[in-house]
Amino acid sequence: MPKDKYYSTKRTSIYSHRHEVFFGIRNRQKSIDDGLIVFLIPEMHNMSKKGVHFNRKFDLYLKKIGERVWLEYYDKTTDDFIERYGRNYL
């Protein structure tokens, strides 16, 4: 996963916000179970317009990375991903 000053795969501060890459009723728990979570600084989560919940470009960026990582880590196909998460982001 690329290094970025706005997010991390581990909590770096007590002020970090956990974000499930694939969220919503259907996918939040799957994202947690599959390890597709990132820890964001508050501004990049939901405390500014740049945050993932208000910035579609950033949201899709994380989803693309999440899908690539999932495919590689679990040695699955795009069809497997679509079956699990409902669509392809790549």
Q: Per-residue pLDDT for the chain (90 aa), expressed as one digit of tens each?
A: 444 544 445 555 667 889 999 998 999 999 999 999 998 888 888 888 898 999 999 999 999 999 999 999 999 999 999 999 999 999
d(CA 53, CA 35): 19
Looking at the chain, which runs of residues are DSSP E strands?
Answer: 7-8, 17-20, 37-40
Looking at 12-82, which runs of residues are DSSP E strands?
Answer: 17-20, 37-40
- pTM for the full model? 0.80
Q: Give the model's pLDDT for residue 74.
A: 95
Q: Give the model's pLDDT for residue 13.
A: 62
